[in-house]
Amino acid sequence: MNGLVLSYFDNILGPRVFLKAPESISNSDLEILPSLMDLNENGFFVHITDKFKSVNLIFNIFSEYARGKKEILLISIVTDINNEINLKLSRELLEAFAKQIKNVKEGYKAFHSNTSRHEFDAEKLQEIKQIFYTFYNSFEPSLNALKEAELRYKTLFDRARDAIIIINYKTEQVIDMNHEAEKILGLNRYEVRGLKPSIFHFEDDYEEIKKNIIDMARRGDAPPLESRIKNSRGESIPVEYNASRVKIGEERLVQVIFRDITERKLAEREMKKKERELFDENKKLSALYGISKLAENMHLSLPEIFEITLKLVQGAFNSPEQAGIKLKFKGNEYKTHNFIEGQELITSSIKINGDFLELQASYPLNKKFTDEENYILYDISNRLKQILIIREIALERERTKKKILDIKKQYHMILENTSDGIWIVDTKGMVIFMNSTMLNILGYEKKDVIKKSFFNLLKDGNKKHLQNVLNNWTKKTKNQYDFLLKSKEGNTIPVHVESYFIPDKSRENDNIMVFFLKK
Could you list the residue range(s) of the whole structural domain that residue 33 is in? 2-150
Q: Is the pLDDT of residue 511 over 70?
A: no
Is 81 part of a structural domain of the chain?
yes
231/108 same-domain check: no
Whole-angstrom Cα distance, residue 348 to residue 404? 39
Is 372 part of a structural domain of the chain?
yes
Q: Tell me the pLDDT tens digit for each residue of 336-388.
A: 988 887 677 888 888 888 888 888 888 888 788 888 888 888 888 888 888 88
More confident residue, 42 or 215: 215
Residue type at 120 in one-letter notation: F
List the CATH number of the domain containing 480: 3.30.450.20
286/382 same-domain check: yes
DSSP-assigned beta bridge partners for residue 360: 326, 347
What does R_g of the chain's alpha carbons equal in angstroms? 41
DSSP symbol at 353? T
13/146 same-domain check: yes
Q: Tell me the pLDDT tens digit for each residue of 192-232.
A: 888 888 888 888 888 888 888 888 888 877 788 888 888 88
pLDDT at 299: 78
Read off φ and ψ for residue 89, nearest 5 degrees.
Answer: -65, -40
% of the chain beyond a pLDDT of 70? 90
36/146 same-domain check: yes
192/217 same-domain check: yes
With cut-offs at 50, 70 and 90, classify the pLDDT of residue 105: very high
Is 412 part of a structural domain of the chain?
no
Q: Is the pLDDT of residue 103 over 80?
A: yes
Q: Is the pLDDT of residue 280 over 50?
A: no
310/364 same-domain check: yes
The contacts found for 211-214 with CB under 8 angstroms, 24 or more apart, are: 212/243, 213/241, 213/243, 213/254, 213/256, 214/243, 214/254
DSSP-assigned beta bridge partners for residue 323: none
Locate the DSSP E strands across 12-51. Answer: 14-21, 43-48
pLDDT at 143: 60
The strand pair at 431-434 and 344-352 is best described as unpaired
Is 404 part of a structural domain of the chain?
no
When divided into structural domains, the chain yields a total of 4
Question: Is the N-terminal amide bond of 22 cis, ω within 30° of 0?
Answer: yes
Is 174 part of a structural domain of the chain?
yes
Contacts of 176 (CB under 8 A, 6+ apart): 157, 165, 166, 189, 193
Given 94, 126, 150, the domain boundary residue is 150
Residue closest to 390 by CA, chosen among 311, 293, 313? 293
The pLDDT of 68-91, averaged and rounded, is: 84
Given 119, 150, 181, the domain boundary residue is 150
pLDDT at 468: 78
249/326 same-domain check: no
Query: What is the full DSSP assignment across 129-159?
Result: HHHHHHHHHHHHHHHHHHHHHHHHHHHHHHH
Is 447 part of a structural domain of the chain?
yes
127/168 same-domain check: no
121/164 same-domain check: no
Given 263, 295, 328, the domain boundary residue is 263
- Answer yes or no: are the C-beta atoms of 89 and 146 closer than 8 Å: yes
Read off φ and ψ for residue 3, nearest 5 degrees.
Answer: -150, 175
Is 275 part of a structural domain of the chain?
no
319/203 same-domain check: no
| Mean pLDDT computed over every residue of the chain | 83
pLDDT at 476: 59
191/329 same-domain check: no
Is 347 part of a structural domain of the chain?
yes
Helix (DSSP H) and strand (DSSP E) numbers for the chain = 14, 19
198/221 same-domain check: yes
